[in-house]
Amino acid sequence: MNPFEMVLTELWNMLLAHPQFVRDVKEQNRIHFDDADNRSPIKSTIAAADLPEVAILTSTGTANIMSTSSTSMTIRQYSIMVSTGDYRYTEILAKVEWYVFCAMVGWKNRISGLQWKGKTFAKRLNVVFFFNDTANPEKNRNIKGWSAVWVIEVEMHLQTSDLLAELNQGDISDDAN
């Protein structure tokens, strides 16, 4: 796996380390975009039993190629999206947001320990912002009630030589002949 994939998977692992998250967000309601066996994880129809639903998506990022003489840096943002189907904030959303907050506190033991090419690469994790909304069910697949998005930013520093080595994996020139 590459660092982008590793961070996405580890964010899920962090959430799943919170026992109340596991209890309150059923497995079938955790929308994984890192599941190699499921090409279309989004449910086409939603029922009460499908909520709360949590998904982690990749969103924006920046990169500083060759930020030092030997490293390149990227800052990726991942969005943890929560849909509740309930207008009572304290019954679902407040709880799930608390689980997300608590889970992210453990990043130094989880995200910063990830290794690619034998080297750790994640240097920082921040919750950039989060917002809640009840007014836009059209954007939330017609799920009414509270929804939230927590934007998590992960700063990664990688050896430029390791990145350049990626370009030399597999010779495609033989396929062109």
DSSP string, 115-155: EETTEE-EEEEEEEEEEEESS-TTTTTT--S-EEEEEEEEE
- Distance, CA of 124 to CA of 112 (rounded, Å): 7
SS3 state of residue 15: helix
- pTM for the model stands at 0.86
Q: Which stretches within 61-136 are classed as H helix?
A: 93-105, 107-110
- pLDDT of 138 reads 55
Tens of each residue's pLDDT in the chain, 177 residues: 999 999 999 999 999 999 999 999 999 899 876 666 766 656 666 666 778 999 999 989 999 999 999 999 999 999 999 989 889 999 999 999 999 999 999 999 999 999 999 999 999 999 999 999 886 655 556 677 899 999 999 999 999 999 999 998 765 554 444
- pLDDT of 175 reads 46
- Distance, CA of 42 to CA of 46 (rounded, Å): 10
CATH code of the domain made up of 3-38+47-160? 3.30.2000.30
- Distance, CA of 32 to CA of 78 (rounded, Å): 13
- pLDDT of 145 reads 86
